[in-house]
Amino acid sequence: MLLTIIMIFLGLVFLGLAIKLAFFALTVIFGLAALGFVVFGVFWLLTRV
C-alpha cells in the first residue's frame, strides 16, 4: 500500500516537472520567435528607407 502511494506521488511530481518543462520550452520558443520577428521587422524597415 505504501509503495502504491509513493509511486503515485512520484508520478505526480514527474508530471508536474514535465508540465513545467513544457511551459518553459514554449516560453523560450515564443520568445525567440518574437525576437526574430522584431529583428526582421527592423531590418525590413531599414531596407525600405
Among positive and negative, which fits the CA dihedral 24, 25, 27, 31?
A: positive
Query: In 1-49, at which residue ranges do the beta strands (DSSP E only) sit?
Result: none
Count the helix, strand and coil residues of the chain and give each as a percent rounded to the nearest 5.
95, 0, 5
pTM exceeds 0.75, yes or no: no
pLDDT in tens, 1-49: 899 999 999 999 999 999 999 999 999 999 999 999 999 999 999 999 8
28-42 as b/e, with b when 16 or more CB fall inside 10 Å? Answer: eeeeeeeeeeeeeee
pLDDT for 49: 83
- 514554449: which residue's cell? 26
